[in-house]
Structures are given as structure tokens and as C-alpha cells.
């Protein structure tokens, strides 16, 4: 392509001054080279003296070849950094307007560029390019790319046209091609702040700066795309979890109740019972949505005497199970437990959901209740056990991750259900645990809850 050149006019007077500046710069660099040589010789002498002294103290030998080698190595390794440091130091004094490529690249700030809002990336990059290369304005032309746009800094910078990439633009000193996998973009740089033209050395530096700017821009955009993909993935996982979590069951309950209400076969008492059930279901849905919006919200159970066996039987009876599922529920009657029926209903539904999903909707789930002694103080507690024949879990996963927030062994799981279940059970003063013999061997979940203090005339909730 022809467009790797730039347009500017140089008068004879400017050309003479430019040559004089170049000659002066070469002389300054020669002076830096000579100074670094003298410093290296002095360093060699100093290191040689110190090394000879140490060798003499250790070996009583006044002159050592090793001392010469050590001094030469130190001087050799220190010479090149000295030359570069002196040249840069003198350039910063005599040639402040010249482009320092490394300093310019540092000014671009590729790392923090990705932290800016996506709509500000291009303008921020152009602003930094202007400051680093001492330009009045700059522009990025990506109109030949899919969904590409024109960006400039400042916003009122001269606008170019497509044909200008071949013939140049009078308001810009240089146009740098920025290759892309899907086309060609251009970085347009305006005139220098001091009005001086650019030379071949600065052009090479600008080429490096342009390539680094392109990489910085791509890095920032990919970072934002990745962050957006993560957000979309999280949203997708939440949506799937809501579809398969307690909310799905609550919607099925509402559908079941609506079907019976619309049948026209219910008397007034049945209708009132249905309405009460609908209020309970909607209350559970509201509670679920609140907990999903903030899984760490405090759990405050409203304890009351609870007939857990009756509640389990009713939940199993009212739930819409897959046709291939078999529920084996030898529920032993237990003394009243101290529990919040709505909160514990969510825990039970979550255990049922996990069992159904791990078994892919087919097989046998065993649910039973029993009295057990607490491992801490020996007090009797009610235990609910849910056993499935599903995919099972590794012991390490159970111990280290299972009940933690966002930990899940399911491909479409969010990792909130068991975390919330543990917080609810522990808020009741109970415990929840799991065990499995490994992958493909099913899982067992046990929920232990304290008994309600024994007293006469206690009404037990089912």
C-alpha cells in the first residue's frame, strides 16, 4: 500500500535547522558515550583496587588475574546502562520535545485503560497518545471495520475521508496503519505542538507507539468483552437456577391451585382453603426472590412447634414429580420440632430438587425421619434423611465446597440452594450434612433440627 508516508513541507531554512539539530544531538550522544567510557574505566580501577586488596588479605598474593577478570566484568556490564542513562538524561535536558518510545508506552497505560468505561476507551487512548507524542490532536478511523467508528481527541479534531488514506490529509502529519483480522484501521496524528516536522527516527518510534496502541486497544476491548461474557453467563446461570429451583415448584403449585379453582367443582370452604394456599405460595416466592437477590441476608426464623413428618408427607403428596420417579417415604412420627414452616419448606424442596436433577428425573428417592442424639450435647433431635440414586459427589467436594456460596457440581447450577439451606438450618440451631460413596453412587443428605420444649396444650403445625 502507498499509505505509509506522511505529508509536510520543509523549507530550506527548516531543513538547515533540522540538520543542525541532528548534528548537535549526535554530538551530545558522543559526549555521553565518552563520559560513560571514562566512568567505566574509573569503575574498573575502583573494583580492581578493592578486589586486589581482598585477594591479598586472603592469599598474600599482591597481583591476581581473578581481580582483573572481576573488574573487567563489572565495568563491561555497567558500560551499556551508563551510556543509555546518560543519553536519556541529556535528551531530557536538550531534546524534551523528542519522542521517548519507552516513556510514551508507559504513558499509554495499557493496564488501567481496560478499567475505563467502554465508551471512553478510544478517546482516553488518543488523549494519551497526544501527550506522549507531543501532538495537538489525534484520530482513530475504524470505519472500514465491521461496526467501526471514527474517534478523535479532542472531539473537534479534523475529520478525514476514506480517500485520505491514499493521498494523505493536510491537517495531519502522519497516518499509521493498524492491522486488524477483519480489516484496516488508521491512527491519524496531527502536527507537533512545537510545529517541528518529524524525522525518520521519530517515525520509527511512532510506528512502535502505534502498534503498542493497537495492542492496548485490543486488550481493553477484549477485557470488556470477557467481563460482559461473564455477566451474561452469570445471568444465564441465575435464570436456569430460577427455572429449576424452588421458584419452578412454586409456579407449579400455583398452576395446580388455579386449575382446581377454575374447575367450578369447589364449594365455598374449598375455595377459601385454596386462597389460603395461594397466599402461602406467593409468600414463599417473595421470600425466595429476596434470598436470591442477597444470599447473605440475615435469616430470622419464626419458631413454632412443627410436625415435620406431616409437612414432609404433604410436600411429597402435593409436589409434581416426574413420571419415572418413585418416592419411598417411611416417615416415622416425631415429637414437635422447633421450626419455621416456610423456611424449612424451602430447604426440603431444595433437597428434592437436587435429588431429581442428579437422577435426571428417574429412579427412587427415599425420605425418612428418625430421632437421633446430638453429637455435641447428646440432646435428642429430629432428623430428615433424603437419599437419592444420582450422580454422587467426591468426598473432597463435600468437605471443601458443597455448602459454600456458588459451589455446585451441576453444569447448570448456581450454587445458592445448599448454601441457603445450611444457613436456614443453622439458624434453627440444627445442622445439615451430606455423604456419598463417589461418582455414580448417589448421595445422602441429613437435616437435624432441635425438638420443641415439651409443655401441655401445645398446638403443632403441620
Residue range 54-92, pLDDT digits in tens: 777 777 767 667 777 777 787 777 777 777 777 667 666
CATH of segment(s) 301-450:
3.30.565.10
pLDDT tens for each residue of 216-270: 788 888 887 777 677 656 655 655 555 455 566 666 667 767 776 777 777 777 7
DSSP 7: -
| CATH 3.30.450.40 holds for 102-227 | yes
- Rounded-to-integer distance, Cα 327 and Cα 304, Å: 28
As a whole number, mean pLDDT of residues 406-425 equals 73
Highest mean pLDDT among 111-115, 121-125, 242-246, 301-305: 301-305
- Rounded-to-integer distance, Cα 260 and Cα 256, Å: 7
DSSP 157: P
Cβ atoms 155, 161 nearer than 8 A: no
Residue 75 makes CB contacts below 8 A (sequence gap 6+) with 40, 41, 43, 44, 47
Cell of 212: 503498542
322: left (phi over 0), alpha (psi -120 to 50) or beta: beta
Helix residue spans in 150-261 (DSSP H)? 164-167, 200-244, 246-261
- Rounded-to-integer distance, Cα 430 and Cα 427, Å: 7
Q: How many CB atoms lie within 10 A of CB 200?
A: 7
pLDDT tens for each residue of 167-194: 788 889 888 888 766 777 888 888 888 7
Cβ atoms 219, 114 nearer than 8 A: yes
Question: Which has the minimum average pLDDT: 274-283, 353-362, 386-395, 438-447?
Answer: 274-283
- Rounded-to-integer distance, Cα 342 and Cα 351, Å: 15
Buried b (16+ CB within 10 A) or exposed e, 16-28: eeeeeeeeebeeb
Beta strands in 374-428 (DSSP E): 380-387
Dihedral of alpha carbons 164, 168, 170, 174, sign: positive
pLDDT band at residue 11 under the 50/70/90 scheme? very low
- Rounded-to-integer distance, Cα 85 and Cα 104, Å: 17
- Rounded-to-integer distance, Cα 99 and Cα 121, Å: 23
Cβ atoms 311, 336 nearer than 8 A: no
Helix residue spans in 262-394 (DSSP H)? 268-293, 308-318, 341-358
Whether pTM exceeds 0.75: no
Cβ atoms 365, 386 nearer than 8 A: yes
Amino acid at each position: 500500500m502507498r499509505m505509509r508516508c506522511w505529508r509536510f513541507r520543509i523549507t530550506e531554512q527548516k531543513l538547515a535547522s533540522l540538520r543542525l539539530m541532528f548534528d548537535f544531538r549526535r554530538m551530545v550522544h558522543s559526549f555521553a558515550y565518552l563520559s560513560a567510557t571514562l566512568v567505566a574505566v574509573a569503575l574498573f580501577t575502583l573494583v580492581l583496587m578493592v578486589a586486589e586488596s581482598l585477594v591479598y588479605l586472603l592469599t598474600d598474593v599482591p597481583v591476581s588475574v581473578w581481580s582483573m577478570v572481576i573488574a573487567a566484568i563489572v565495568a563491561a556490564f555497567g558500560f551499556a546502562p551508563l551510556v543509555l542513562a546518560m543519553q536519556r538524561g541529556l535528551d531530557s535536558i536538550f531534546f524534551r520535545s523528542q519522542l521517548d518510545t519507552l516513556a510514551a508506552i508507559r504513558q499509554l497505560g495499557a493496564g488501567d485503560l481496560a478499567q475505563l468505561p467502554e465508551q471512553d476507551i478510544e478517546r482516553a487512548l488518543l488523549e494519551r497518545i497526544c501527550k506522549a507524542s507531543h501532538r495537538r490532536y489525534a484520530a482513530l478511523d475504524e470505519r472500514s471495520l465491521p461496526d467501526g467508528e471514527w474517534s478523535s481527541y479532542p472531539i473537534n479534531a479534523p475529520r478525514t475521508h476514506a480517500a485520505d488514506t491514499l493521498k494523505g490529509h493536510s491537517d495531519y502529519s502522519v497516518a499509521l496503519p493498524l492491522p486488524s483480522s477483519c480489516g484496516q484501521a488508521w491512527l491519524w496524528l496531527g502536527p507537533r505542538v512545537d510545529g517541528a516536522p518529524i524525522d525518520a527516527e521519530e517515525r520509527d518510534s511512532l510506528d512502535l507507539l502505534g502498534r503498542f496502541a493497537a495492542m492496548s486497544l485490543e486488550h481493553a476491548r477484549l477485557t470488556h468483552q470477557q467481563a460482559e461474557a461473564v455477566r451474561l453467563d452469570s445471568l444465564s446461570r441465575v435464570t436456569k437456577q430460577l427455572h429449576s429451583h424452588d421458584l419452578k415448584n412454586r409456579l407449579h403449585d400455583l398452576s395446580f391451585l388455579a386449575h382446581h379453582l377454575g374447575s367450578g367443582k369447589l364449594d365455598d370452604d374449598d375455595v377459601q382453603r385454596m386462597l389460603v394456599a395461594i397466599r402461602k405460595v406467593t409468600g414463599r416466592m417473595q421470600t425466595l426472590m429476596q434470598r436470591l437477590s442477597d444470599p447473605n441476608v440475615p435469616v430470622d426464623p419464626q419458631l413454632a412447634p412443627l410436625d415435620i413428618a406431616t409437612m414432609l408427607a404433604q410436600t411429597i403428596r402435593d409436589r409434581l414429580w416426574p413420571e419415572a420417579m418413585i418416592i419411598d417415604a417411611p416417615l416415622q412420627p416425631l415429637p414437635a420440632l422447633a421450626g419455621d414452616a416456610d423456611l424449612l419448606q424451602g430447604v426440603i424442596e431444595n433437597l428434592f430438587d437436587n435429588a431429581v436433577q442428579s437422577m435426571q428425573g428417574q429412579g427412587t428417592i427415599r425420605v425418612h425421619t428418625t430421632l437421633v442424639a446430638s453429637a455435641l450435647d447428646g440432646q435428642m433431635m429430629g432428623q430428615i434423611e433424603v437419599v437419592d440414586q444420582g450422580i454422587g459427589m467426591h468426598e473432597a467436594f463435600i468437605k471443601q465446597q458443597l455448602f459454600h456460596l456458588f459451589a455446585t457440581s451441576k453444569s447448570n447450577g448456581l450454587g445458592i440452594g445448599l448454601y441457603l439451606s445450611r444457613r436456614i438450618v443453622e439458624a434453627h440451631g440444627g445442622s445439615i450434612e451430606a455423604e456419598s460413596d463417589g461418582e455414580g453412587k448417589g448421595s445422602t443428605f441429613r437435616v437435624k433440627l432441635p425438638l420443641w420444649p415439651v409443655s401441655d396444650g401445645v398446638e403443632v403445625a403441620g
